[in-house]
Amino acid sequence: MSDYFLLIVGWIHAIAAVAWLGGAIFYWVVLRPAVRSGAMPDSIVRFAGSEFSQLVALSMWVLVITGGILMFNRLSDPSATLPYGATLGLKIALSAWMFFLVAGRRSRARATTGAPTGRLRNAVNALGHINMTVILGAIVFLLSDILRMIVERQLAAN
């Protein structure tokens, strides 16, 4: 494939990942505490939630499409190594986990009107949607850098 095409696809992939993870961090650190304190009107909370939901949905589609292109390009290269493939597999698995967290959150939001309370529910929520999305997203970014390092070492060895 053309180097310019792959450059653009990689850039779009990175922008989508940054938008999703950056938005999740903003929600986690700024918006959620403001909502919990009651400092934000319900109309703004609903608007922000709707807009962020659309950003996440778009980011997910962009990441799947661009990630597929980048994956097939890299794995079709004869220099693809087993460590690269294993690291890429872990990155894909963690990304899929993030996608399922979002999909599960959306289906639960539609299915329930009042959230159950209690210690067990609080423990589940602590490792729930937004916290795990941020943690997994940070790990996926780290794996991206490890993949880049593997490729650079492979190129330097040749």
Average pLDDT over residues 110-130: 55
How far apart, in Å, do the first and last CA atoms of the chain sit? Answer: 21
pLDDT beyond 90 at 117: no
Which residue's entry shows tokens 């967290």?
101
Question: What are the pLDDT digits (tens) for 12-62?
Answer: 999 999 999 998 898 888 888 888 888 888 888 888 888 888 998 999 999
The three state secondary structure string of 33-49 is HHHHHCCCCHHHHHHHH
pTM, two decimals, is 0.79
Contact by Cβ (8 Å): 20, 58 = no
Position 125 scores a pLDDT of: 53
One-letter amino acid identity for 152? Answer: E
Which residue's entry shows tokens 């650190």?
29
| φ/ψ (deg, to 5) at 80 | -65, 130
pLDDT beyond 50 at 78: yes
Q: For the chain, how many structural domains are there in total?
A: 1
Q: Percent of the chain having pLDDT more than 90?
A: 49
pLDDT beyond 70 at 111: no
Q: Which residue has the higher pLDDT, 111 or 75?
A: 75
Contact by Cβ (8 Å): 117, 8 = no
pLDDT beyond 50 at 124: no
Say how many C-beta atoms besides its own lie within 10 A of residue 89's C-beta.
12
- Domain span at residue 111 reads 3-157
pLDDT beyond 70 at 128: no
